[in-house]
Structure 1
Amino acid sequence: MNAAEDLGLPVAVPSTALFTDHYELTMVQAALRAGTAHRRSVFEVFTRRLPDGRRYGVVAGTGRVLDAVANFRFEPGVLDFLRERRIVDEPTLEWLAHYRFRGDIYGYPEGEVYFPGSPIMRVEGTFAEAVLLETVVLSILNHDSAVAAAASRMAVAAGDRPLVEMGARRTHELSAVAAARAAYIGGFASTSDLAAGFRYGIPTIGTSAHAFTLLHDSERDAFTAQVDSLGRGTTLLVDTYDVTEAVRTAVEVAGPGLGAVRIDSGDLLLLAHRVRQQLDDLGAGDTRIVVTSDLDEYAIASLAAAPVNAYGVGTQLVTGSGHPTCSMVYKMVARTDTDDPRAPLRPVAKKALGGKLSVGGAKWAARRRDADGVAEAEVVGTGEIPAELAGQELLVELVRDGEIVTREPLKAHRDRHKRARDGLPMSATQLSRGEPALPTVYV
């Protein structure tokens, strides 16, 4: 059976109402008392800069945001908690008891790339209903987009060789599931995490660890037990003791039809060449070599000329390869002066201090391309979109009047990312430090 999201369906999650900060609720209480809570407002998610050295960002987590918004409801137990802690007063608790987001959400489709200033998501509704979503939206997008960006860079470095996500033991158990999802969007082929496979339909993979070899009286016994159970196409871990001896034993046990060997330590470049030569000499020319061991995009790139068939990546992937957040923010950019939903919106923005620039007004975004179809600028503006950019808009409708209107299977996000990345200038995929691949132009 395919996972719900793999079919483009919502994923069941519990109430997300407390995935918020204390001050979101106190702002709502104060705004209700002041009579300003129901003013129509527009909030936008964007980042002022990419992580140091990155040429582009990757939008990931949008589907999880939609699930979180749909389940943002204050159930009786949650209301009791807020009442007991005296976080908000009774009139606010009454308002929260009936809370449902009934506004609109637009955003870059999942898998798309973004740049500094890109309005990645736009949330429109009353101040009270929209401000409550700030923390949960940012926590999802910042985490998932960081992992997806790292995954994308690793996928570029790996070329046609498949990547396995295996970072579940290096992060929070729920973050591990989200990371596997984001990694798949960024270009990974599979995950070791069964919860991610169950929830999102991502292919899962895995065979054995060093403990399995240590369990048995000899390496030969361990290999024999694994082959007897999983077949000759399995992957045998060959660096528990002596790699050369292990490879020889592995081929003797499984025969030349052995599926793969995995190397998890040592000088991977040197070992890969030695193991490839040994496998060929033993008649196992089709046996693949899988390498793991704290890989990142730079280590993967350094193995490009090595006879490696696949990579397994854990710690560096789930921590964003040194950049575990994208520093996205959720800022009000427009509001009305009255409760009348038909009242005109006027731009608002925080005064820029210390480089924290915000641009007022609800924005559109489009990607300008050159004559060859290669992206050359991220164009962001308010008002009417210029005629020459019509049809190149980036934001799509996600939620209308509180109802989710866009659902896609996970593969669609993955395919979109590859198309978006392929449409960037060649400099975008360089691993060396540099400026964003596209300038952001405000009009």
Structure 2
Amino acid sequence: MTALEFDIISEEAIRSGRATDAYFDRTQETLEHAGKNPHVVAEVTADQFPDGEFELLAGVKDVAALLAGHAVDVDAIQEGRLFDGGPVMRIEGPYLEFARLETSLLGFLSHASGIATEALKIRQAAPETSILSFGARHVHPSIAAVVERGALIAGLDGFSHVAAGDLLGKNASGTMPHALLLAFGRGNQEAAWTAFDAAVDAEAPRIALCDTFSDEKDEVLRAAATLGDRLDGVRLDTTGSRRGDFAHIIREVRWELDAHGYEDVEIFVSGGLGVSDLRALRELVDGFGVGSAISNADPVDFALDIVEIDGEPIAKRGKLSGVKEVYRTREGEHYVGLRGRPGPTDSELLLKPLIRDGEVLDRASFSVDAAADRAAYDAEKTGFGTKTDTNR
């Protein structure tokens, strides 16, 4: 019997341009038949003008891998930078060199940037508290690494997906699900915690899940008594419909731990948490696990538009013709202007060379850690997360 296959587009299909919309195939056929292949400048934008709603750019590494080897020059804002209107990427070269790659290119940028932007909102909601990404289960497994990479670029402290960790060169985090407690049966939570402690590598933290069968306070004290000094922390993952006033529950748990001499046991919480939850709970806990608020982010609505053909400005209706530059001003604002015209005084030019004649110039810029540093810098510079319009 032939094994069923997963519905996953292959890397070869993406690189070859087969992962495209049909009308790009028709366009290539038509232009080749007509003997036309104009030299164009195309720009990738989400908004034409700044509106104060910054978003975090991600997915540039995959676009570089897609365009490498093609006879084009590419300038781009670096991954981990915040943008607000105007192009995040500029492609120059013969149109047919990249026409069929547009669908994949936009997909790489749109999905990754949406995830990274939401993760940055989460990061800014609890800047001093440990946060892990738990959202890979909400997306197709083929893009789990996109979710976890976006979370790291936004500055989160870790993630849960093992295979994504293999790809990103990072160790996945996490201890136990409710299934482990259920497998040992009601009333046997101590046996589950003890078995975990005996089986799992000593480097993994001993964080006991404490809300499976009974009151959180009850299970927390039982876990502390069972594991003693070996217990690093407890996790509360109570379903929203059953937890009532979560802040009050956490305060009770902290009180009882302290009252019984377990001051060093930390408290971690998870389960459908979003920005407002983190703000409300950040002073009460030592860490968060955040899932769907990150992984279910809406993609950024990028479009790719030709703005110059054979040296002449051109654009479709509703788009701005001419090649543009984007700047970060000294005050932290975003500015868009025509290339070749002066930009704001003491501003930083954001579009930087990425590819020249098909060769990727700066592979080091794809470091996740470097991108996270850029995101933290830009978040402070622009005030990201301090305004209501960035806290949805």
What is the TM-score of this pair, normalised by structure 2? 0.89
Give, in angstroms, the shift of residue 385 of structure 1. Answer: 4.0
Give, in angstroms, the shift of residue 174 of structure 1. Answer: 1.6
1:157-181 Cα deviation digits (max 9, x unpaired): 0111111111111111122211110
Give, in angstroms, the shift of residue 125 of structure 1. Answer: 1.2
Going from structure 1 to structure 2, the CA distance change for 1:199 and 1:54 (only over 3 Å counts) comes to: farther
1:339-374 Cα deviation digits (max 9, x unpaired): xxxxxx11111112xxxxx111111111221xxxx3
Partner of 1:40: 39
1:197-228 Cα deviation digits (max 9, x unpaired): 11112331011111100111411111111122
Name the amino acid aligned to 1:411: D
Going from structure 1 to structure 2, the CA distance change for 1:101 and 1:233 (only over 3 Å counts) comes to: closer
Going from structure 1 to structure 2, the CA distance change for 1:270 and 1:235 (only over 3 Å counts) comes to: same
Give, in angstroms, the shift of residue 244 of structure 1. Answer: 2.0
Pick one of 189, 203, 212 that aligns with 1:219. 189
> Do the aligned partners of 1:58 and 1:113 also contact (CA within 8 Å) in 2?
yes
Give, in angstroms, the shift of residue 274 of structure 1. Answer: 1.1
Give, in angstroms, the shift of residue 14 of structure 1. Answer: 4.1
Partner of 1:413: 371
Give, in angstroms, the shift of residue 23 of structure 1. Answer: 0.9
Partner of 1:136: 104
> Identity over aligned residues, as a percent?
28
Give, in angstroms, the shift of residue 68 of structure 1. Answer: 2.5
1:413-440 Cα deviation digits (max 9, x unpaired): 111111111111x4x32352379xxxxx
1:6-35 Cα deviation digits (max 9, x unpaired): xxxxxx954412221111111011011112
> Do the aligned partners of 1:155 and 1:186 also contact (CA within 8 Å) in 2?
yes
Say yes or no: does 1:104 pair with 2:76. Answer: no
1:147-186 residue pairs with structure 2 within 5 A?
147-186=115-154
Say yes or no: does 1:325 pair with 2:299. Answer: yes
SS of alignment partner, residue 40 of structure 2: strand
Deviating runs (4+, > 3 A) in structure 1?
Answer: 12-15, 230-233, 387-391
Say yes or no: does 1:398 pair with 2:354. Answer: yes
Pick one of 64, 75, 86 that aligns with 1:66. 64
> Do the aligned partners of 1:144 and 1:179 also contact (CA within 8 Å) in 2?
yes
Partner of 1:364: 325
Say yes or no: does 1:119 pair with 2:87. Answer: yes
Going from structure 1 to structure 2, the CA distance change for 1:290 and 1:138 (only over 3 Å counts) comes to: same
> Do the aligned partners of 1:180 and 1:191 also contact (CA within 8 Å) in 2?
yes
Equivalent residue pairs, number: 368
> Do the aligned partners of 2:121 and 2:390 also contact (CA within 8 Å) in 1?
no
SS of alignment partner, residue 334 of structure 1: strand
Pick one of 154, 167, 171 that aligns with 1:203. 171
Give, in angstroms, the shift of residue 41 of structure 1. Answer: 0.6
> Do the aligned partners of 2:119 and 2:151 also contact (CA within 8 Å) in 1?
yes
> Do the aligned partners of 2:329 and 2:346 also contact (CA within 8 Å) in 1?
no
Partner of 1:314: 291
CA distance in 1: counterparts of 2:210 and 2:159, whole angstroms:
21
CA distance in 1: counterparts of 2:11 and 2:363, whole angstroms:
16
Deviates more, 1:121-130 or 1:267-276: 267-276
Say yes or no: does 1:347 pair with 2:313. Answer: yes
Partner of 1:74: none
CA distance in 1: counterparts of 2:58 and 2:209, whole angstroms:
33
Going from structure 1 to structure 2, the CA distance change for 1:261 and 1:47 (only over 3 Å counts) comes to: same
Give, in angstroms, the shift of residue 187 of structure 1. Answer: 1.4
CA distance in 2: counterparts of 1:108 and 1:23, whole angstroms:
28
1:424-439 residue pairs with structure 2 within 5 A?
424=382, 426=383, 428-430=384-386, 432-433=388-389
Unpaired runs of 5+ residues, structure 1, are: 1-11, 71-99, 337-344, 353-357, 436-443
Pick one of 217, 222, 225 that aligns with 1:252. 225
CA distance in 2: counterparts of 1:206 and 1:293, whole angstroms:
14
Going from structure 1 to structure 2, the CA distance change for 1:140 and 1:127 (only over 3 Å counts) comes to: same
1:231-268 Cα deviation digits (max 9, x unpaired): 59411000101212211110111104411100001243
Partner of 2:26: 26
CA distance in 2: counterparts of 1:64 and 1:214, whole angstroms:
41
CA distance in 2: counterparts of 1:360 and 1:140, whole angstroms:
24
- The two structures, once aligned, show a CA RMSD in angstroms of 2.2
> Do the aligned partners of 1:335 and 1:348 also contact (CA within 8 Å) in 2?
yes
> Do the aligned partners of 2:133 and 2:156 also contact (CA within 8 Å) in 1?
yes
Name the amino acid aligned to 1:319: N
Give, in angstroms, the shift of residue 189 of structure 1. Answer: 1.0
Partner of 2:282: 304
> Do the aligned partners of 1:257 and 1:287 also contact (CA within 8 Å) in 2?
no
Name the amino acid aligned to 2:313: P
CA distance in 2: counterparts of 1:394 and 1:62, whole angstroms:
14
